[in-house]
């Protein structure tokens, strides 16, 4: 064990030396060749518990946009790998629900104490400020049906905002009417009103408003219910290093995040007309302005997917269309939805160009019409498919996550309801496959090389797989209730990775054994698309913090 | 009137979140209005001895769409996503499994029932 670690350290140092020789700019990988890499290490303890396992310790160099986080082991010990540090002054943060850091708040390396810091925690005076959305949903009284509407709120803001409010039922009804007229690509840092106003049934508004006014601070200065918390990480969940790259503006809302073949990290910005790129080796950040198609309409893009050539496609939401970014020329080609199909509610949230080289077509969706669109690259024309037209009214449908098979047949998630859909590329024939769990609301998806379509069942709190050849399903519960998984990614070891907007935890799940690890992230992290880089061993997980203007890298140590 | 409300809800959800109003409307089991009642197709798949056949593919085909599911360990299936507006006469039903051929399909509707009632369709498979 020890010799393996020693070997690894030697290899890391050799790598560092190579970088230094090459003169690479490594502002946060630091360390000089031959010198002992400085580390920050120590123990975390509290009067209540003594040495504490599962406390997240984050260090951030003064003035640097990068934070490194490690987790204390069963003995309360932590160690930030020296390879991630360079000499200088670091601020210290912790995350352990129920506690605050008593001190010290900073450390300088190298220094004698940096190797054996004693971090003391004290009970927090404001537990509510530390609760995740999941913990609020666990704590609130009420039925599942009463709580269910709140899962929509998390798209734009935390539930803490709701429970700390003092609106009575009538005031809340007005707030809700106002909320329905914000675009879904709205964050607290950038609020975007819809162009087309929406009518909401008054009875529905009143019902939700009455419930919200019963769980907030409208009647008393504090909550009438006990605040419940999730357990801290243990065992495997503590063996991880997390790196957060802060982006330069608080309004940047990374939604879909992926690495390209060179290890560059690209992301769609949900609320601003930019495509972003981060070089995780140097921290260098670049943005490419997406041309605005509809001035005055909400900006930002949701899905970001590569085509066969590694060019990035963006679904432009209320801008009405798609954009293709050529990675060589760094230019955008724009594919607006044509005027006769393009109104005030037009919204493209998804794009699927991965098999466009097969037939010259790119799939997308038209959210306002519950329709699928297909772009013909040669002509720039869109054709429309209405997969739910035969079903009549009475249920809500919404084509969402998209995947394409080898023949560019489309698989889509009916996020409004409970089915996986298929559109045949040649005939346009539609088949719907209801998930075993009703009202599951499948959300984002990926198709693996074996024809297994992996997806997250947002409302069912499950991960699932649909075998496109056998036409059969499998489903697995995620371990924590009220997680509401958004997406799932299958890595090279056949393990699943998932994240959500609810509890700042990354789920690593082995569908064969059922073994689950939940890695806690250091900050409030609104997670959407998830990505795993299979080129490293162990694999490296990436996601954006949609509300926190940061890119998150998670490196499991095993 | 009902239809207008439903359309509104559908649009609301489809357009995405507006703090929660959509979620309840779509999540099933809500009794907001009449349109929230859905006809569905259900039944069982059996062999010629009357024994349940599990993992049989069950397909309901309308003019515009195919709906597919599988029978469970008791041979039962349910396709909950057809709306009651669907005309049962426009629906073709089939069941299949490797090593079997479809022998018989029996439809039953509730006596005096209307379009909103579930429709039972049982299927018999014969070993090849």
Average pLDDT over residues A334-360: 98
**Taking the CB of residue B46, how many other CB atoms lie within 10 A of it?**
20
Kindly report the nearest CA distance between residue A409 and chain B, in angstroms: 15
Residues within 8 A of B (CB atoms), A 130-159 only: 145, 148-153, 155-156
**Residue A520 lies inside a defined structural domain of this protein:** yes
Interchain pair A439, B67: CB under 8 A: no
Residue A200's pLDDT band, with cuts at 50, 70 and 90, is: confident
pLDDT at A99 over 80: yes
Give pLDDT tens digits for A386-419. 998 877 666 789 999 999 999 999 999 999 999 9
Alpha helix stretches (DSSP H) within A443-517: none
Confidence class for position A31, pLDDT limits 50, 70, 90: very low
In the prediction, which pLDDT does A5 show? 41
Chain B nearest C-alpha distance from A557 (Å): 37
In a shared domain, residues A544 and A442: yes
- What is the C-alpha to C-alpha distance for residues A60 and A14, in angstroms, rounded to an integer? 25
Same-domain status, B41 and B23: no
Task: Return the structure tokens found at A60.
Answer: 């951030």
Nearest to A204 among B10, B24, B81 (CB): B24
Please state the domain count of chain B.
2
Model pLDDT, residue B88: 72
Closest partner residue to A153 among B19, B36, B80, by Cβ?
B19
User: Do B69 and A441 make contact, defined as CB atoms within 8 angstroms?
Assistant: no
Please tell me whether residues A314 and A280 are part of one structural domain. yes
Backbone dihedral region for residue A76 (phi beyond 0: left; psi -120 to 50: alpha; all else: beta): left
**B117 and B71 in a common domain:** yes
Asked whether the predicted pLDDT for residue A202 surpasses 90, the reply is: yes
- Give the CATH number, domain containing residue A24: 2.60.40.10
A519: CATH? 2.130.10.10
pLDDT for position B113? 66
* Tokens of residue B23, six digits: 């979620």
Residue A479 lies in a domain: yes
B55, B19: one domain = no
CB contact under 8 A, A145 and B85: no
Q: How far is B99 from chain A (nearest CA, A)?
A: 15
Per-residue pLDDT at A36:
60
- The reply to whether A112 and A151 lie within a common domain is no
Q: Are residues A461 and A483 in the same domain?
A: yes
Domain of B27, in residue numbers: 2-34
* Same structural domain, A417 and A393: yes
Sort out which chain B residues have CB atoms less than 8 A from A153's CB and list them: 17, 19-20
Query: A151 and A207 share a domain?
Result: yes
What's the burial of A351, exposed, middle or buried (CB within 10 Å: 0-12/13-18/19+)? buried
Nearest of B63, B127, B67, B64 to residue B94 by alpha carbon? B67
Would you write out chain B's pLDDT as a tens digit for each of its 128 residues?
233 233 333 333 333 333 334 433 332 223 333 344 456 789 999 999 999 999 999 998 888 889 999 999 999 998 876 666 667 778 899 999 999 999 999 988 777 766 667 788 999 999 99
**Do both B85 and B48 map to the same domain?**
yes
From A368, A389, A395, residue closest to B81, measured CB to CB: A395
Is A230 among the domain residues?
no
* pLDDT, mean of residues A426-434: 96
Asked if residue A221 belongs to a domain, the reply is no
Class of residue B27 by CB neighbours under 10 A (exposed 0-12, middle 13-18, buried 19+): buried
Phi/psi for A241 (5° steps) reads -125, 130
Q: What is the CATH number of the domain that holds B66?
A: 2.60.40.10
A548: preceding bond cis by omega (within 30 degrees): no
Is residue B78 domain-shared with residue B109, that is, in the same domain?
Answer: yes
Residues 408-427 of chain A with CB under 8 A from chain B are 416-419
Q: How far is B48 from chain A (nearest CA, A)?
A: 24
pLDDT at position B15 is: 35
* Whether A146 and A118 share a structural domain: no
Same structural domain, A113 and A133: no
B42 & B30 share domain: no
Task: State whether B27 and B52 are in the same domain.
Answer: no
Residue A220 lies in a domain: no
Whether residue A64 is found in the same domain as residue A133: no
Q: What is the 3-state secondary structure (H, E, C) of A22-38?
A: HCCCCCCCCCCCCCCCC
Supply the pLDDT for residue A61: 97
pLDDT the model gives residue B85: 65
Which among B10, B32, B57 has the least Cβ separation from residue A471? B57
Query: Distance, in angstroms, between A199 CA and closest chain B CA?
Result: 7
Q: Domain total for chain A? A: 3
Torsion angles phi and psi, residue A51, rounded to 5: -60, 135
Q: What tokens were used for A206?
A: 């009143």
Structural domain includes residue A415: yes
Contact A391 B81 (CB under 8 A): yes
Chain B residues with CB-CB distance to A349 below 8 A = 16
The parent domain of residue A425 ranges over 235-556
Nearest CA in chain B to A367: B14
The nearest CA of chain A is from the CA of B124 a distance in Å of: 21
Q: What is the DSSP letter of A224?
A: S
Nearest CA in chain B to A172: B19
Residue window 319-378, chain A: list those with CB within 8 Å of chain B.
Answer: 345, 347, 349, 367-370
Tokens of A148: 């269910």
Task: Return residues 199-218 of A near B (CB < 8 Å).
Answer: 199-201, 203-205, 207-208
Tell whether A345 and A489 lie within a shared domain. yes
pLDDT in tens, A103-152: 899 999 999 999 999 999 999 999 999 999 999 999 999 999 999 999 99
- CA of A203: which chain B residue's CA is closest? B32
A228 lies in some domain: no
B49 and B94, same domain (yes or no): yes
Helix/strand/coil for A82: helix
pLDDT above 50 for A56: yes
Poorest-confidence range of A201-205, A209-213, A270-274, B25-29?
A: B25-29
Residue A227 in any domain: the answer is no
Q: Which one has a higher pLDDT value, B116 or A48?
A: A48
In this structure, the answer to whether residues B8 and B49 fall within a common structural domain is no
Across the interface, whether the CB atoms of A398 and B13 are under 8 A apart is answered yes
pLDDT of A3 higher than 60:
no
Verify whether the Cβ–Cβ distance A390 to B68 is below 8 Å: no
Count of beta carbons in the 10 Å neighbourhood of residue A518: 22
Structural domain ending residue among the three candidates A125, A158, A174: A125
Number of CB pairs, chain A paired with chain B, less than 8 A apart? 188
Residues A427 and A326 in one domain: yes
Among chain B residues, CA nearest to A388: B65
Query: Are the Cβ atoms of B83 and A176 closer than 8 angstroms?
Result: no
Task: Assess whether B108 and B69 both reside in one domain.
Answer: yes
Tell me the helices (H) and strands (E) count for chain A, helix number first.
8, 37
Q: Which of A:19-78 have CB within 8 Å of B?
A: none
- Displacement of CA A469 from its chain's centroid (Å): 30
* CB-based contact A414:A350 (threshold 8 Å): no
* Mean pLDDT (whole number) for A168-178: 97
Nearest-CA distance B103 → chain A (Å): 22
Where among A84, A108, A125 does a domain terminate?
A: A125
| CB-closest option in B22, B28, B63 to A439 | B28
Beta strands in B48-91 (DSSP E): 57-61, 65-70, 76-79
Burial of A31 (0-12, 13-18, 19+ CB in 10 A): buried
Does residue A9 register a pLDDT over 50? no
A64 and A197 inside one domain: no
Same domain assignment for residues B98 and B47: yes
Domain final residue, candidates A151, A184, A215: A215
Q: Which of B21, B68, B85 sits opposite A431 (nearest CB)?
A: B68
Please tell me whether residues B26 and B42 are part of one structural domain: no
């Amino acid at each position: 064990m020890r010799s393996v670690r020693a070997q690894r350290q030697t290899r890391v140092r050799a790598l560092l030396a190579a970088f230094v020789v090459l003169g690479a700019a490594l502002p946060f990988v630091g360390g000089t060749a031959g010198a002992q890499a400085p580390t920050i290490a120590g123990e975390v303890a509290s009067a209540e518990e003594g040495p504490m396992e599962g406390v997240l310790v984050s260090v951030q160099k003064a003035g640097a946009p990068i934070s490194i986080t490690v987790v204390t082991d069963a003995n309360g010990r932590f160690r930030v790998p020296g390879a991630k540090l360079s000499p200088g002054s670091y601020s210290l943060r912790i995350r352990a629900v129920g506690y605050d850091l008593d001190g010290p708040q900073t450390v300088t390396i190298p220094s004698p104490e940096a190797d054996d810091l004693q971090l003391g925690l004290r009970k927090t005076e404001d537990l509510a400020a530390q609760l995740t959305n999941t913990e609020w949903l666990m704590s609130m009284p009420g039925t599942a049906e009463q709580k269910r509407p709140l899962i929509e709120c998390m798209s734009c803001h935390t539930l803490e905002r709701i429970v700390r409010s003092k609106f009575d039922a009538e005031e809340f009804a007005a707030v809700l009417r106002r909320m329905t007229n914000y675009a879904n690509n709205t964050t607290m840092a950038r609020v975007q009103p819809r162009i087309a106003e929406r009518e909401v049934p008054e009875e529905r508004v009143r019902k939700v408003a009455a419930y919200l006014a019963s769980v907030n601070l409208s009647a008393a200065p504090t909550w009438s219910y006990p605040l419940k918390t999730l357990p801290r990480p243990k065992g495997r969940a503590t063996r991880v290093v997390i790196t957060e790259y802060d982006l330069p503006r608080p309004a940047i809302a990374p939604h879909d995040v992926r690495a390209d073949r060179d290890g560059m990290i690209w992301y769609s910005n949900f609320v601003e007309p930019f495509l972003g790129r981060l070089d995780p080796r140097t921290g260098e950040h670049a943005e490419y302005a997406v041309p605005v198609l509809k001035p005055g309409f909400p900006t930002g893009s949701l899905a970001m997917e590569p085509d066969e050539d590694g060019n990035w496609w963006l679904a432009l939401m209320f801008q009405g269309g798609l954009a293709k970014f050529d990675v060589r020329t760094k230019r955008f080609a724009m594919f607006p939805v044509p005027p006769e199909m393009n109104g005030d509610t037009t919204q493209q949230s998804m794009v699927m160009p991965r098999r466009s080289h097969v037939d010259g077509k790119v799939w997308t969706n038209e959210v306002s019409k519950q329709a699928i669109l297909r772009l013909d690259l040669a002509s720039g024309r869109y054709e429309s498919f209405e997969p739910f037209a035969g079903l009549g009214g009475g249920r809500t449908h919404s084509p969402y996550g998209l995947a394409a098979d080898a023949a560019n047949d489309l698989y889509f998630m009916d996020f409004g309801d409970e089915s996986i859909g298929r559109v045949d590329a040649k005939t346009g024939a539609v088949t719907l496959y209801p998930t075993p769990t009703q009202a599951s609301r499948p959300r984002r998806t990926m198709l693996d090389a074996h024809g297994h379509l992996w997806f997250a069942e947002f409302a069912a709190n499950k991960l699932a797989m649909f075998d496109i050849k056998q036409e059969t399903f499998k489903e697995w519960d995620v371990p924590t209730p009220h997680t509401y998984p958004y997406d799932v990614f299958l890595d090279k070891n056949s393990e699943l990775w998932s994240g959500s907007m609810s509890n700042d935890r990354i789920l690593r799940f082995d569908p064969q054994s059922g073994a689950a690890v939940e890695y806690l992230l250091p900050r409030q992290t609104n997670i959407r698309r998830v990505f795993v880089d299979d080129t490293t061993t162990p694999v490296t997980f990436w996601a954006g913090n949609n509300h926190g203007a940061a890119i998150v890298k998670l490196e499991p140590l095993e | 009137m009902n239809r207008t409300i439903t359309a509104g809800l559908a649009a609301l959800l489809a357009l995405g979140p507006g703090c929660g109003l959509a979620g309840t409307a779509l999540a099933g089991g809500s009794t907001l209005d009449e349109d929230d009642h859905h006809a569905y197709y259900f039944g069982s798949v059996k062999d010629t001895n009357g024994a349940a056949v599990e993992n049989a593919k069950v397909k309901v085909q309308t003019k515009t769409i195919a709906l597919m599911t599988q029978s469970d360990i008791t041979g039962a299936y349910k396709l909950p996503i057809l709306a009651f507006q669907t005309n049962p006469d426009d629906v073709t039903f089939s069941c299949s499994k490797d090593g079997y051929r479809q022998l018989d399909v029996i439809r039953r509707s509730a006596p005096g029932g209307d379009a909103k009632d579930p429709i039972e369709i049982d299927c018999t498979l014969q070993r090849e």
